[in-house]
């Protein structure tokens, strides 16, 4: 294996994109699976795997992840919900890592959200906690740390993660625990991403791309793949898809030693 391929994708629990009525577009998990399989990636990082149920109820085993696992034959997977919370809004939730090579040392880390009040459907509430998950695998004789996260969208709360940096700092702390090859993918929900990219660069991690829009609802680069100095990105592409309100980000890497 001279290079390996990574897919970063917020799959919006299988909800398709509809330009005329995006909030009520149909669920088509089959299309989601087809899009993921079409990339033939060695590593797949997914956000919003499951659809939040009333009261934040979490079904176990998680139905979408279970179906994904059955369809992605030959892949090894790890999934986690965030901390259960009845305040969870009816959107997407849950992170997954899939790899063609076995996963080990899996973990999850809660990312607390600040108590910022906001109105949703006529009621005041505060945001729920977010999540970071991780696992290790071995590719081409190299141990590789994989990380996947989905941060709070402060811009939707008329605020900014630059003013509430705790979640970003917790992710940085996890990155600094790895002294070998490492990748971090996710939906970082940062509308003005330059400060995010600088912060992770200071921790030794570079973004594969910062120019092409990855979200259909606003012209933002929300989705990123960050890599340590032990990895060199050979190529990348932002691939539009009708399977989500996010585009897919794919990148190919080679080890530098």
For the four alpha carbons of 147, 96, 41 and 152, in that order, the dihedral sign comes to negative
Q: What are phi and psi of 65, to 5 degrees?
A: -65, -40
Residue-range domains of the chain with CATH: 4-255 (3.60.10.10)
Distance, in Å, from the CA atom of 67 to the CA atom of 50, rounded to the nearest integer, reads 11
Distance, in Å, from the CA atom of 219 to the CA atom of 246, rounded to the nearest integer, reads 11
Beta bridge partners of 108: 133
Residue 176: the pLDDT is: 95
Neighbour count for residue 196 (Cβ, 10 Å): 24
Residue 197: the pLDDT is: 97
Tell me which residues of the chain have a pLDDT lower than 70. 1
Residue 166: the pLDDT is: 96
Residue 257: the pLDDT is: 80
Distance, in Å, from the CA atom of 36 to the CA atom of 248, rounded to the nearest integer, reads 9
Give pLDDT tens digits for 89-138.
999 999 999 999 999 999 999 999 999 999 999 999 999 999 999 999 99
Residue 1: the pLDDT is: 60
DSSP string, the chain: ---EEEEEEE-GGGBPP-SS-GGGPPB-HHHHHHHHHHH--SEEEEE--EEPPGGG---SS-HHHHHHHHHSTT-EEEEE-----TT--SSEE-EEEEESS--EEEEEEEEPPP---EEETTEEE-PPPEEEEEEEEEETTEEEEEEEEE---GGGGT--TTT--HHHHHHHHHHTT--S-EEEEEE---SSTHHHHHHHHHTT-EES-SSS--BSSSS---EEEEE-TTEEEEEEEEE--TTSSB-EEEEEEEE--
């Amino acid at each position: 294996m001279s290079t390996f391929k990574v897919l970063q994708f917020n799959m919006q629990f299988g909800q398709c994109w509809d330009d005329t009525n995006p909030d009520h577009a149909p669920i088509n998990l089959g299309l989601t699976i087809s899009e993921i399989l079409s990339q033939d990636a060695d590593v797949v990082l997914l956000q919003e795997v499951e659809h939040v149920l009333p009261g934040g109820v979490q079904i176990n085993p998680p139905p979408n992840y279970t179906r994904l696992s059955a369809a992605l034959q030959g892949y090894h997977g790890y999934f986690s919900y965030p901390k259960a919370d009845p305040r969870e809004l009816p959107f997407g939730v849950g992170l997954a890592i899939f790899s063609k090579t076995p996963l080990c040392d899996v973990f999850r880390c809660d990312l607390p959200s600040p108590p910022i009040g906001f109105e949703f459907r006529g009621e005041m509430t505060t945001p729920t906690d977010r999540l970071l998950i991780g696992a290790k695998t071995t590719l081409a004789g190299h141990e590789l740390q994989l990380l996947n996260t989905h941060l709070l969208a402060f811009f939707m709360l008329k605020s900014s993660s630059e003013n509430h940096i705790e979640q970003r700092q917790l992710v940085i702390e996890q990155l600094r625990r790895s002294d070998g090859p490492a990748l971090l993918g996710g939906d970082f929900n940062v509308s003005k991403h330059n400060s995010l990219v600088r912060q992770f660069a200071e921790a030794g991690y570079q973004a594969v791309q910062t120019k092409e829009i990855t979200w259909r609802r606003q012209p933002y680069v929300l989705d990123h793949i960050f890599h340590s100095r032990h990895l060199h990105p050979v190529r990348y592409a932002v691939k539009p898809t009708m399977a989500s309100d996010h585009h897919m980000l794919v990148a190919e890497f080679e080890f530098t030693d």
